[in-house]
């Protein structure tokens, strides 16, 4: 399976600021996904990021709030903009192994907004 790293692993931020989360994979992948896991909840997909095209956002998530970059086949960033305490969550990136129809997850970023 792919080795996935995320930075930062955790952060505490003030409301109104923005945080960019990085996701790095040790192999080239076509599709990367960003999920949000609110406290005590399940995972919800924010958006799908393909290299070379605009990210596709799920209902309830907008580009102005969660801009995503995908500059190459091993890297992606998710920015959480103009944060409020409701954005406090774990943010996870995942990558697809298309040949085996599997998704593997990064270790997650725990975000706390005060």
Q: Which residues bind another protein (CB under 8 A)?
A: 1, 30-31, 33, 37, 41-45, 48, 58, 90, 92, 94, 96, 98, 101-105, 107-108, 110
Output 75 or 105, the one with its CB closest to another protein: 105
With contact defined as beta carbons under 8 Å apart, do 8 and 20 qualify? no
To another protein, the closest distance from the beta carbon of 33 in angstroms equals 6
| CA pair distance 53, 43, nearest whole angstrom | 24
Q: Would you state the torsion angle of the CA atoms of residues 92, 98, 102, 107, taken in this order, to the nearest 10 degrees?
A: -30
Output 62 or 98, the one with its CB closest to another protein: 98
To another protein, the closest distance from the beta carbon of 75 in angstroms equals 19
To another protein, the closest distance from the beta carbon of 114 in angstroms equals 20
With contact defined as beta carbons under 8 Å apart, do 45 and 37 qualify? no
| CA pair distance 49, 27, nearest whole angstrom | 16
């Amino acid at each position: 399976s792919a080795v996935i790293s995320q930075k930062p692993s955790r952060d505490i931020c003030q409301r109104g600021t923005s945080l960019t989360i990085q996701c790095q994979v040790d192999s080239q992948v076509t599709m990367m996904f960003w999920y949000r896991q609110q406290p005590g909840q399940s995972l919800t997909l924010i958006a799908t990021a393909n290299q070379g095209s605009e990210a596709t956002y799920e209902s309830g998530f907008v580009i102005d709030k969660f801009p995503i970059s995908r500059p190459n086949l091993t890297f992606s960033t998710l920015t959480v903009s103009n944060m409020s305490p409701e954005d406090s969550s774990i943010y996870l990136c995942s990558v697809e192994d298309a040949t085996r129809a599997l998704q593997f997850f990064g270790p997650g970023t725990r975000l706390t907004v005060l």
